[in-house]
Each structure stands twice: as structure tokens, then as C-alpha cells.
């Protein structure tokens, strides 16, 4: 009797899946038309603001019981597959495979994009600048470790634009072949990951040697070849290198986020929930710090970040990186930037892009 009921329910599920499939194909056909229209007008195929608006609208209107967190994941893949029908995306990222940058690139572009690992941040910029990849993904700051200087330095030389940002919660997991803590005789990872787990390692695995390597992914690869070793790496590295999770989330500070930037050759359209990044160097004169912030204060433009980096060509001169709320196409943002310009030796708008969901 119970079997009859189960069969009947499964038949209903089959019928629903057929409808979902029909609708997916109907959606794909419409996206192909969108692609043809955009190709005629030479517009960008990847539109992060539109993707964000789709996720937001669906999550806000979701009556349940299908979980809203899952909507983003499911739609990420639907949009990724649909976009690949308009134009297959090639995305370069700071590799190797299974690093957190890889996880971030997958979260943003989905499984239908071709993700290409490269050896350095400058190689990622170059691949995009030369048109060999549509976009590049690089880390820019970590909530515990601060900014990634190399990425900011790259913007001094490069004309690429920021196309979007990705916020990824970093979970440092301890991975080994057996999945048992007792088997661990050494722990391998990137020095930053080891530093972020220092207290846990001292308390749980005292006297166990720690080995620095160039990436968390390389650590996972080494742990896969040595049953006495464990790696601190992402869960994705576990599946890629056939490792088991001996302990999840071992970072001393459980709140650990990394922000990544997607770089491309164009500034995306306004989404209404945007951020603008600019960089500039100011002429050395009294009150200059006050003056450079005033145009934003006057217009009530919120500044979410300010960083300074030494200017390599001149000792004791600095470049400022500023993130502010709004799009460069907004009158107030454009006017504030123009008012700042006369105080600057140079000023560059790095891009306006949709704010990542927090």
C-alpha cells in the first residue's frame, strides 16, 4: 500500500520535472534571442547587475518551502548554462585549481563557464587585457589579513575595469587521506592559512610540525600523496584530491571572508545597488586629506573603504584607493569625482559594479 502511494507521488514528481525541463528550454530559447539582440548592439553578454536582480527578485518573492539559499545556487547554474548559449565565457583566475579564488570564480560564473587557472595575479590581468579571457578573478582583501597589495598595484599599470565583486566565506578545513585526526604527523598549508588556524593547531595538534607551501591547493595535493600529512584547504580541494575532512572550520576567528574582484574590459550597467572604486594620488599640500573627502561628504556619498599604497616611482608619495556607494553614471558620484580631480596628480575610475550580497 505504502509503495502505491510512493509510486503515485513519484509520478507527480516526474510530471513536475517535465514541466521544469520545458520551462528551462523555453528560458534558454529566450536567452538565445537576448544574445542575438545584444550581439547586434555590441553589448556585453555577461550582465552581473541583471543576475543580481534575478536572484533578489526570486528570493524576495519565494513563498517556500523551497529554501531561498538554494534558489541562488540553482539559478547560478541556470544562468551560467543560458549564458553559455549566448557566448561561452572564459574566465581566468589566480590558481591553482581548488584555491579559494577558484571557489569564488565558480560561485560567480557557475559550472558552464570555462575557468582557467593562472600562476599569478599579473598573468590573470594580462590574459584579460589581451582578450584571451573574457574576465579574471583575483583576491583583493581578507577580513583578517587585510588587502592583497599585488592586486591593487596591478591597477596602477592596467586599464582593466572592475566588473563585479565576490564575497566568499572562507572555511579552512583540515584534510587528510583517512579523515582521522590521530593519523596527522604534519600539517601543510599556505602561511596565511596556517597563521589563521594557529591557536587551534597549538591546542589540538601541539608539537606537530607545520610546513609552508605556496597555496592551499598544493598542500592538498601533497597530503594526497602522504598519509601522515594533513592540509588546511577548502572543501573543494578535498573532493578534487580525494581527501577526507578530518575537521571542519578550524580557523581561530570563525568570521573569515575574502573579497574578490572580477576584472574585465568594460564597466557594467547601473544596477541601482552599485559601488564605484577609484584610485588617485594627491598633490602634497596642507589640508589635502580633508579636501579629498569633502566632495563625497557634501553629497552624502558613503565611502566603504579607503586604502593607501606607496607610489613606487616617488618615495613618500601615496596612491589612494577609495570605494564609494553609487555608480559613476549617477550625477552625484560623477560630480564628486570631477570635484576631486583638480587636487590629484592623476585619478582613475577603476569601475562601477553591483555590490555583492552580504
Ligand X SMILES: O=C(O)C(=O)C[C@]1(C(=O)O)C=C[C@@H](O)C=C1
Hey, which residues are catalytic here?
258, 260
**DSSP secondary structure letters along 165-211:** EEEEE---EEEESSS-GGG-SEEEE-HHHHHHTHHHHHHHSTT--EE
The smaller minimum CB distance to ligand X, of residues 79 and 236, is found at 79
Measured between its terminal Cα atoms, the distance across the chain in Å is 48
> Taking phi first (over 0 means left), then psi (-120 to 50 degrees means alpha), and beta for anything else, what does residue 131 get?
left
Give Cα 147 distance to the centre of its chain: 14
Q: Please state the φ and ψ torsions of residue 297, each to the nearest 5 degrees.
A: -60, -45
The smaller minimum CB distance to ligand X, of residues 81 and 210, is found at 81
Taking the CA atoms of 94, 96, 102 and 106 in sequence, report the sign of the dihedral they define. Answer: positive
Residue nearest to ligand X (CB): 82
The smaller minimum CB distance to ligand X, of residues 268 and 295, is found at 268
Q: Looking up cell 596642507, which residue turns up?
A: 286
The smaller minimum CB distance to ligand X, of residues 85 and 311, is found at 85
353 vs 221: CA distance, rounded Å: 35
Q: Which of 254, 249, 256, 101 is nearest to 175 (CA)?
A: 249
The smaller minimum CB distance to ligand X, of residues 266 and 297, is found at 266
Query: Least distance (Å) from ligand X to the CB of residue 134?
Result: 11
Query: Least distance (Å) from ligand X to the CB of residue 316?
Result: 44
Query: Least distance (Å) from ligand X to the CB of residue 45?
Result: 6
Query: Least distance (Å) from ligand X to the CB of residue 265?
Result: 15
The CA-based dihedral angle spanning residues 216, 220, 226, 228, taken in that order and rounded to the nearest 10 degrees: 70
The smaller minimum CB distance to ligand X, of residues 135 and 155, is found at 135
Q: List strands edge to edge, sheet with 244-247.
A: 210-212, 186-189, 229-233, 173-176, 244-247
121 vs 126: CA distance, rounded Å: 9
Query: Least distance (Å) from ligand X to the CB of residue 75?
Result: 9
The CA-based dihedral angle spanning residues 18, 21, 23, 24, taken in that order and rounded to the nearest 10 degrees: 170
Site for ligand X, rule CB under 6 A: 31, 34, 45-47, 50-51, 54, 79, 82-83, 86
The smaller minimum CB distance to ligand X, of residues 164 and 258, is found at 164
Give Cα 259 distance to the centre of its chain: 6
Query: Least distance (Å) from ligand X to the CB of residue 86?
Result: 6
Q: Exposed, middle or buried, 206 (CB in 10 Å: 0-12/13-18/19+)?
A: exposed
Query: Least distance (Å) from ligand X to the CB of residue 44?
Result: 8
The CA-atom distances, in angstroms, between 248 and each of 70, 233, 327 are 21, 10, 39
Amino acid at each position: 500500500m505504502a509503495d502505491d502511494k510512493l509510486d503515485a507521488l513519484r509520478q507527480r514528481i516526474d510530471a513536475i520535472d517535465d514541466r521544469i525541463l520545458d520551462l528551462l528550454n523555453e528560458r534558454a530559447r529566450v536567452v538565445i534571442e537576448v544574445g542575438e539582440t545584444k550581439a547586434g548592439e555590441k553589448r556585453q553578454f555577461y550582465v552581473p547587475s541583471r543576475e543580481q536582480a534575478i536572484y533578489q527578485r526570486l528570493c524576495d518573492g519565494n513563498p517556500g518551502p523551497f529554501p531561498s539559499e538554494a534558489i541562488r545556487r540553482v539559478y547560478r547554474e541556470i544562468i551560467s548554462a543560458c549564458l553559455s548559449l549566448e557566448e561561452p565565457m572564459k574566465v581566468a583566475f589566480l590558481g591553482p585549481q581548488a584555491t579559494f579564488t577558484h571557489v569564488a570564480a565558480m560561485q560567480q560564473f557557475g559550472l558552464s563557464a570555462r575557468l582557467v587557472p593562472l600562476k599569478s595575479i599579473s598573468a590573470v590581468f594580462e590574459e584579460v587585457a589581451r582578450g584571451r579571457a573574457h574576465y579574471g578573478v583575483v583576491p583583493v582583501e581578507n577580513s583578517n589579513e587585510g588587502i592583497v597589495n599585488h592586486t591593487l598595484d596591478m591597477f596602477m599599470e592596467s586599464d582593466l575595469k572592475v566588473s563585479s565583486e565576490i564575497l566568499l566565506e572562507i572555511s579552512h578545513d583540515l584534510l587528510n587521506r583517512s579523515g582521522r585526526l590521530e593519523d596527522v604527523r604534519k600539517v601543510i598549508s599556505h602561511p596565511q592559512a596556517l597563521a589563521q588556524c594557529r591557536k587551534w593547531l597549538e591546542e589540538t595538534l601541539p608539537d606537530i610540525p607545520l610546513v609552508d607551501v605556496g597555496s592551499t591547493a598544493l598542500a592538498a595535493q601533497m597530503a594526497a600523496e602522504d598519509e601522515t600529512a594533513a592540509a588546511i584547504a577548502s572543501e573543494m580541494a578535498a573532493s578534487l584530491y580525494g581527501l577526507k575532512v578530518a575537521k571542519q572550520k578550524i580557523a581561530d576567528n570563525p568570521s573569515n571572508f575574502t573579497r574578490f574582484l572580477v576584472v574585465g574590459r568594460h564597466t557594467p550597467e547601473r544596477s541601482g545597488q552599485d559601488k564605484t572604486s577609484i584610485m588617485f594620488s594627491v598633490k602634497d599640500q596642507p589640508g589635502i586629506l580633508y579636501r579629498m573627502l569633502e566632495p563625497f561628504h557634501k553629497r552624502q556619498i558613503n565611502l566603504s573603504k579607503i586604502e593607501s599604497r606607496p607610489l613606487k616611482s616617488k618615495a613618500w608619495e601615496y596612491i589612494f584607493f577609495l570605494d564609494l556607494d553609487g555608480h559613476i553614471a549617477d550625477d552625484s558620484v560623477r560630480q564628486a569625482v570631477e570635484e576631486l580631480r583638480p587636487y590629484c596628480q592623476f585619478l582613475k575610475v577603476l569601475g562601477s559594479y553591483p555590490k555583492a550580497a552580504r
